């Protein structure tokens, strides 16, 4: 039985947004790649919960990030997009149904592919909407790829620390 409520979801959103804004934004790796951790809310939100509440909370999380960065809804759009397509991404990367599901049933390759593809899509949307110019196409793609890899490492560590594969 999962004891998560909207109140605990909001506390998690505030905590993830605070970590993103006050810690991760201040520590770019290799001089320019800022890891993102806040999409873990979307990735590991229970599949059986109310979809409207999930999309609304995902929007709230992205909006908090946008307000703090002044990015005019880009993060909210990307976060809601991966939230909306999360079940599809999950089914395509794991070949598993979300009915009566636990992350424990996945092997590490499927688990990693789900995380990486979700983060890549999120970063692709954020960075191409924010920095898109045809003259910078390759530069932005490299930035998306590097940020996705770095973020994947942070999210994978988060999953290990909080034992995501053992619960949800």
Residue 134 DSSP symbol: G
In words, the CATH class of domain 6-166 is mainly alpha
Q: Name the H helices within 70-107.
A: 74-94
CA 38 to chain centre: 6
**CA nearest 20: which of 129, 147, 142?**
147
Strand partners, 29: 33
What is the distance between the alpha carbons of residues 156 and 111, in angstroms, rounded to a whole number? 9
**CA nearest 130: which of 70, 42, 80?**
70
What is the distance between the alpha carbons of residues 146 and 16, in angstroms, rounded to a whole number? 21
CA 47 to chain centre: 15
pLDDT digits (tens, 9 = 90+) for 28-52: 998 899 999 999 999 999 888 899 9
Secondary structure of residue 56 in the 3-state scheme: helix
pTM over 0.75: yes
Taking residues 67-72, report their average pLDDT.
93
The pLDDT of residue 118 is 97
pLDDT digits (tens, 9 = 90+) for 127-147: 999 887 778 889 999 999 999
What is the distance between the alpha carbons of residues 73 and 120, in angstroms, rounded to a whole number? 18
C-alpha to C-alpha distances, 137 to 30, 45, 73, 123, 142, nearest whole angstrom: 20, 33, 22, 14, 9
């Amino acid at each position: 039985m999962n004891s998560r409520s909207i109140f605990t979801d909001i506390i998690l959103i505030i905590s993830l947004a605070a970590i993103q804004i006050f810690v991760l934004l201040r520590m770019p790796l290799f001089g320019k790649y800022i890891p993102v951790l806040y999409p873990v809310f979307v990735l590991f939100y229970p599949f059986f919960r109310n979809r409207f509440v999930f999309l609304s909370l995902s929007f709230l999380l992205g909006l908090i990030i946008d307000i703090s960065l002044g990015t005019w809804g880009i993060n909210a759009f990307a976060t809601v997009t991966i939230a909306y397509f999360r079940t599809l991404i999950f089914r395509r990367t794991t070949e598993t149904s979300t009915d009566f599901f636990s992350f424990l049933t996945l092997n590490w390759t499927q688990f990693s592919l789900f995380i990486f593809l979700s983060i890549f899509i999120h970063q692709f949307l954020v960075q191409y909407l924010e920095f898109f110019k045809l003259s910078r196409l390759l530069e932005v793609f490299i930035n998306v790829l590097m940020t996705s890899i770095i973020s994947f490492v942070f999210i994978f560590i988060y999953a290990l620390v909080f034992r995501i594969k053992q619960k949800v």
